[in-house]
Amino acid sequence: MATLLAVAGAGFVLTWFFYRRAFALLRPAERRLLVALRWAAILLVVMLLFRPVLGYRKQTSHRPSLLFAVDRSGSMSIRDNPAGDSRFDQARRRVAQWSRKLDKRFDLHLVAFADRAQDLSDAEALAALAPDGRSTSLSRAILAARVRIPADRLAAVVLVSDGLHNSAGNPVETAQRLGAVVHTIGVGASLRGEGAQRDVRVTGVDCPERLLLGNKARITASVDAVGLAGQVVEVTLSDSSQQIGRTELALDRLEGAQQVEFEFRPTEKGRHVYTVHATPVSDEPIEQNNQRRAVALVVEPGIRVLYLEGTLRAEYGALVDRFLAKDPDLEFCALVQTRPHVFLTRSNIKGLDLREIPSDRAAIDTFDVFILGDLDSAFLRPDQQQLLIDRVRAGAGLVMLGGYHSLGPGGYGSAPLGQILPVALGPRDVGQITDPFLPQLTPEGVRHPIFAGIAEFFPTRAQPEPARSGLPPLEGCTRVEGARPDATVLAVCPLESSAMPVLAVGPSGKGRAAVFTGDTTRRWQQTPRVLGQDSPFLRFWGQLVRWLAGRKESVGAGAGIEASVDRGYYEPDEPVRIRAVVRDRQGEAASHAQVAAEIHSSAAGESPTPGQNAQGPSSTTRTLALAPVPSSPGHYEAVFEPAEPGTYEITLTAQLDQDRLAAEPLTVEVGRPSLEFERLDLDESMLRQIAQRAGGRYEHLTTADSLIDALDHRQQQKTVRFETRLYYPPLAWFLLIGVLTTEWTLRRRFQLK
């Protein structure tokens, strides 16, 4: 204000000084009018620059605010008091009593919480809720005070819970940062204290997130007990309602859980919920902790293909560009020899840097199928051949293709690798058949999975002409001497009276081996494609590789979409990754589809929106676009973060040219199943830490009346500063322009410069 007055005074003095020369030319009334107008203009400018206000302070008082946060998660449904009431019923009755007592002394606020907090109008609204929350976040319960009550009005937070925190946040740190007192009241009993009840419980289930179809799987359960040493309980493992394992466990006296292992082989793909259950003993009041669930995805093992080719021939380009790179179910690495022992690499396997034929077992064992092209045996050392043999006998698959430097002409007849093939190869000079022909299927070939859905493209002995014409013949094949006794011949060369095998398969230990002598199948893909006709090329190679890998499914011939997620269940606040594989009408990977996921959630709604039923589940639907995955044709991916625990149903659709494709819906669980019953003891340690860090007290529900009576309910005093603006900017600008305009007009009239 002093500066304002000084500036205004200086302006008045300067105005008088500069106007004094003109005073001789003006009458007194004119002089006074011009000076007054100039002073008014200066005063208005100073007001606009300094923006003066009139400020004063005033003392106010108000009732303190008190927030009750009551746990309504699943663990609060436990009935562990002598009267048989649930923890939640005990808590809500006491909170209702305290609310009536404190209503005239405090501005009361009430929230119920599990994973999230929801506002309640009064204690009666609390009675209408059920303890069915799927997880507990004590942190979010404490933070409810910050968003609902101004910091200067909050007297305290009273947290009523069993202390079992298993969701987002660190409640001890959150309470310390709140800046207000937090009192905690424990509800429930310890299962290990004096006079503890008899109890057997499943404390953990160790289950892999992904299980391989048909492979041995192991699930380990942890079982603990109190007051039951020496007793025998039955422990079972179930998949949905079907029991898949059972054992009897003798409970010991040692502290800590005992381990129970179950081994089985999954027989169906998809999401599975495995439940471990310990049979309750007599007089066991708490049965909610007698079982625990784990969710796993049962998937087909991935198929990895290693293709070794000796020359850059037409078959290499057809297999890599038109089969391996187009089949979205395969990961491959193709090595083609450009000069002796120098290879060019093509691969879609992330992180794989393979520049030569692998020489170590670890690298070989990562592949499920091996394709050997026109590569002479001289380029495969005996130790490398033995690694391939060991891998095939352990369960992998191998196919050797015809060529001028493979099979017999490649020296494999006397090489170790030739001994596991289903045909006798012959010497290096066994020769080639150079006349064109279509392979003739044997009766076994017509029924074999390799020719599922495509047998009609090929002739048979009973039907020399194929049922579907138009398939170009092979340009020839490599001769072999005949099939081995344990081999199955699926196709023969009709040009040879001895029915020389063109495709033969056979077992090799736990794996499978095949020989395809033909040269070359490139025309099977190329010519029908140019003419707009169907071709068996993709299905033949796809089904051959899948059979070698031990798979049963055939390759679909039409457009389609398959959906998957990377996990069976997700923790709260964990992102969900959605994947889709899209095929076109030829069964090839489709890279130009528009893929979208519709996500429908049925989650436990802790924070309902206005107008939504606070007691029912929230239900929302959202749509998410999937983006193509680089270097993986036909693969699409997207990530979304669930808003809260619950069940999410995901439906994927794809628009591919004129085709509208839809996948089978997926179900995703957010929040581990039975998460609330993993621990049932009252966690007094957690509640004490929260209270100590926030300057509060901890009491058990049975002794909490003393805490409630001691709450500080004194009126809170507050000094408030009030300010009144001494000017109105629009009016000041209007007056300034008016004053200056009036002064300028008068100066012109008085004939002043």
* CA nearest neighbour of 455 among 465, 469, 444, 445: 445
Confidence of residue 110 (pLDDT cuts 50, 70, 90): very high
Using N-to-C axis directions, what is the helix angle for 138-148 and 171-178, rounded to 10°?
A: 20
Indicate if 432 and 512 belong to the same structural domain: yes
275 in the same domain as 378: no
Same domain, 349 and 437: yes
Residues 355 and 426 occupy one common structural domain:
yes
- Residue 621's pLDDT band, with cuts at 50, 70 and 90, is confident
Name which of 42-56, 227-241, 691-705 the model is least confident about.
42-56
What CATH number is associated with residue 630?
2.60.40.1930
Whole-Å CA distances, 1 to 5, 10, 49, 56: 6, 14, 12, 15
For residues 309 and 294, membership in a common domain is answered with no
Mean pLDDT of all residues in 138-154: 88
Mean pLDDT of the residues in the chain: 85
Whole-number Å distance between alpha carbons of 649 and 651:
7
State the pLDDT at residue 437: 94
List CB contacts of 83: < 8 A, sequence separation 6 or more: none
Q: Are 266 and 216 in contact (CB under 8 A)?
A: no
Boundary of a domain, candidates 241, 271, 299: 299
Spatial CA neighbour of 530 closest among 322, 727, 389: 322
Check whether 605 has a pLDDT greater than 60. no
CA 458 – CA 644 distance, rounded (Å) = 56
For 328-345, letters b (16+ CB in 10 Å) and e give: bbbbbbbbbbeeeeebee
Cβ contacts of residue 38 below 8 Å, gap of 6+? 15, 19, 743
Mean pLDDT of 226-238: 88
* 8 A C-beta contact, residue 716 and residue 202: no
732 and 713 in a single domain? The answer is no
Residue, of 531 and 18, whose pLDDT is higher = 18
Residues 293 and 313 in one domain: no
* Helix boundaries (H) for 495-553: 522-531, 537-548
Pick the last residue of a domain from 299, 333, 350.
299
Max mean pLDDT range (95-104, 339-348, 391-400, 670-679):
391-400
Classify burial at 121, counting beta carbons within 10 Å of its beta carbon; exposed 0-12, middle 13-18, buried 19 or more.
exposed
Residues 141, 9, single domain; the answer is no
Between 158-167, 514-523, 552-561, the lowest mean confidence (pLDDT) is in 552-561
Closest CA to 112 of 131, 99, 86, 93: 131
Residue 111 predicted with pLDDT over 70:
yes
Contact 511, 439 (CB under 8 A): no
Is 494 found in the same domain as 359? yes
Q: What is the pLDDT of residue 203?
A: 83
pLDDT at 192: 59
Q: What is the mean pLDDT of residues 79-92?
A: 87
pLDDT (0 to 100) of residue 610: 31
Task: Tell me the pLDDT tens digit for each residue of 150-205.
Answer: 887 888 999 999 998 988 789 999 999 998 999 999 998 876 554 556 788 888 88
524-555 per-residue burial string, b: 16 or more CB within 10 A, e: under 16: bbbebeeeeebbbbbbbbbbbbbbbbbbeebb
**Cβ contact 369:306 at 8 Å:** yes
User: 326 and 398: one domain?
Assistant: yes
CB atoms within 10 A of CB 422: 24
Q: Are residues 464 and 370 in the same domain?
A: yes
Instruction: Please tell me the distance from the alpha carbon of residue 712 to that of residue 489, in angstroms, as a whole number.
Output: 92
Q: Which range is most confident: 223-232, 300-309, 393-402, 465-474?
A: 393-402
pLDDT at residue 531, as a whole number: 57
Which residues sit opposite 723 in a β-bridge?
55
Classify residue 633: in a domain, yes or no: yes
- Phi then psi for 306, rounded to 5 degrees? -110, 120
Is residue 374 in some structural domain? Answer: yes
Is pLDDT above 80 for 75?
yes
Label residue 679 by pLDDT band (50, 70, 90): confident
CA-angle at 536, arms to 269 and 653, nearest 5°? 45
Task: Tell me whether residue 57 is in a domain.
Answer: no
Could you tell me the CATH number of the domain that includes residue 103? 3.40.50.410
Indicate whether 733 belongs to any domain: yes
Residue 739 CA to residue 37 CA, distance in Å, equals 6
The tens digit of pLDDT for each residue in 714-744 reads 545 555 677 788 778 888 888 889 988 988 8
Cα distance between residue 427 and residue 5, in whole Å: 115
Task: Kindly report the number of other CB atoms within 10 A of residue 434's CB atom.
Answer: 9
Q: Is residue 475 part of a domain?
A: yes
Digit-coded pLDDT (tens) for 705-716: 999 988 865 545
Domain residue limits at 271: 199-299
pLDDT at 27: 79
What whole-number distance in Å separates Cα of residue 123 and Cα of residue 93?
Answer: 9
Q: What is the pLDDT at residue 608?
A: 35
Residues 21 and 66 in one domain: no
- Whether the pLDDT of residue 306 is over 90: the answer is yes
In which band, very low, low, confident or very high, does the pLDDT at 673 lie, cut at 50, 70 and 90? low
Identify the pLDDT of residue 382.
Answer: 94
- pLDDT of res. 17: 74
- Residue 246 within any structural domain of the chain: yes
Domain C-terminal end among 299, 331, 349:
299
Burial class (CB in 10 A: 0-12, 13-18, 19+), 406: buried
pTM equals 0.59
Q: What is the CA radius of gyration of the chain?
A: 41
Decide if 612 is inside a domain.
no
Average pLDDT over residues 273-291: 84
Strands (E) in 568-643, as ranges, are 569-570, 576-583, 594-603, 618-628, 635-640
Residue 555 lies in a domain: no
- pLDDT: is 351 or 107 the higher one? 107
Question: CB-side exposure of 67: number of CA atoms within 13 Å?
Answer: 27
Total count of domains within the chain: 5
Q: Tell me: the pLDDT tens digits for 339-394?
A: 998 999 999 888 888 889 999 999 999 999 999 999 999 999 999 999 999 999 99
When pLDDT is cut at 50, 70 and 90, the band that residue 4 belongs to is: confident
Q: Note if the bond before 520 is cis, omega within 30 degrees.
A: yes
What residue type is assigned to position 343 of the chain? F
Which residues, in sequence order, are bridge partners of residue 656? 659
* Number of residues assigned to the chain: 753
pLDDT band at 61 (very low <50, low <70, confident <90, very high): low
